[in-house]
Structure formats: C-alpha cells, structure tokens
Amino acid sequence: MIAVLKLGRTYAGLSSNRGDFEHWIMAGLGVGTDSVTIVDVANGDALPLYSRLAGAILTGSHAMVTDRLPWCETLARWIPGAVERHIPILGICFGHQLLARAMGGLVDDNPRGREFGTIEVTLNGNARRDRLLGHLGNPIRVHCCHDQSVVKLPTGANRLATSTKDANQAFSVGRCAWGVQFHPEFDAEITSAYIGHHRTDLAREGQDPDHLMAHCTDTSYGPLILRRFAGIVKDRDWDQWQ
C-alpha cells in the first residue's frame, strides 16, 4: 500500500473542478484506489505504521516548512525512521523540503526568488543511473511553484537536478528516498492557476505572470516519474530492503 501523506489542500476554486493533490498524484501513479491510502496529516490523521507501508508520497502544501507547525514537526520526526527502514519515499515540493530538513538539511526562502511555471530542470551525473530520474532525457520540462527551497542538502544526500532558480531541484537520500522541488502531478492548467493566485507577488519581484502563464505547457515527464515511483514500490524486494 502506498500512503499519500496529504500535507495541505489546493485552492477551493481549483479543487471544485479538478480535485486535490492526492487525486492528481493518484492519476499520475497509474494505480487503482485500492493500492493507495490517503493520510490527511495536516488535518490530524495519525501517521501510518512503518510495517504497513510499501511506500509513501509527501504532497505539496501552502504551508511553509520554516513555520514548524506541530503536525509538520511530528512528520519530520517520523520521516527518518521510514528512510532508515528503506521504505520508498517521494517528497514533492513542500514534501521535498520537509524530507530534506528531517534528514538534516536546511530550508529557507529561495534566495533567487519565486519559481513558477513550466521550467527546464537539468539532471546531473548522479541522476544518470538513478532509479527514479535516470534515462529521462536532459533537460526535462516540468511544472514548478514554490517560494522556499532546500538551501542545504542533508549530509550524505545526492544532488540529482538543478534549475536556473534552484540548485537543489531534486535529491536522493538513503537507499530509496527522493525529493523533487517540482510538481510531477501538475499539468499546464493547474500550474497556470497557481501563477494566477500569485500574480501580485510575482509581479512585485519583476516577473511577468502573463508571460509565465502563456508558456505553461503539458509535459510527459511528471507522470513518467510518478509511474516510475509506483514501479519502484511494486518491484521492491522486501527481504533485501528490510
């Protein structure tokens, strides 16, 4: 069973038409609802027992990791135990940042400003043989929307990808835990909606929201990465990893 740890909700206007983070993730994974359990961590659901997990996905959130909300701190204490047990983990955006901080990294406001839109992410040498990101082509085009970033990776983590505004777009830590700052579950419509919600802040930074929205394009890389993660969970050799 893959646990989607729901760490926040999207905008009401968007969810009424398109669903929420967990629905987009499940669609990208390409698995049935009987293979996924939703754990609404931000709304007080208890964290799953490690022994009942085949894998876990940490969703995005409108919260900030640096706010250190109580539920966020509880999850940060839970994450190292999952990593140590070699449970496959995928952290997305906020989840990527929380994974990094829980393992000893540092999260703060992105020193290069907000990063929104369909962007190019460059994979480095570490990613070539990576089970999640290897052999995807280079660069890849993905969807992004974030104010904060992982400004320092955990000790022993492997940087896998960068972008013009973020040195740590993707990393791995332990045997099978990954963080991606971008949103593999987003499509062009969702990304454009997020740009619209942050129009004023983006314009204040000198960015052009209309230009960013006009250049939002659908890409196959996000769903491919999610399907790969589902495959990693499915093919996991329990005797080897536990």
Total-model pTM: 0.95
The per-residue pLDDT for range 96-147, each reduced to its tens digit, is 999 999 999 999 999 999 999 999 999 999 999 999 999 998 999 999 999 9
Cβ-Cβ contacts under 8 Å for 179 (sequence gap 6 or more): 90, 91, 92, 95, 96, 97, 99, 100, 150, 170, 171, 172, 173
Mean pLDDT of 138-160: 97
pLDDT at 85: 96
Confidence of residue 227 (pLDDT cuts 50, 70, 90): very high
* Cα 226-154-10 angle, rounded to 5 deg: 40
Q: Could you tell me the two tokens for 196?
A: 């619209």
- Choosing from 143, 183, 197, 198, the catalytic residue is 183
Give the CATH number, domain containing residue 229.
Answer: 3.40.50.880
3-state secondary structure of 3: strand
Whether 229 and 56 have beta carbons less than 8 Å apart is answered as: no
Q: How far is CA 29 from the centre of its chain?
A: 13
185 part of the active site: yes
Mean pLDDT in the chain?
A: 95
Q: Which of 145, 185, 198, 216 is catalytic?
A: 185
Residue 231 pLDDT exceeds 60: yes
pLDDT of residue 48: 96
Average confidence (pLDDT) over 161-180: 97
The yes-or-no answer on residue 183 being catalytic is yes
Q: Tally the domains of the chain.
A: 1
pLDDT mean over 156-180: 97
Name the one residue in this structure whose structure tokens are 């062009």: 188
Q: For residues 123 and 195, give the distance between their C-alpha atoms in angstroms, rounded to a whole number.
A: 25
Domain limits at 139? 2-241
Residue 14 pLDDT > 60: yes
Candidates 22, 72, 93, 145; catalytic one: 93
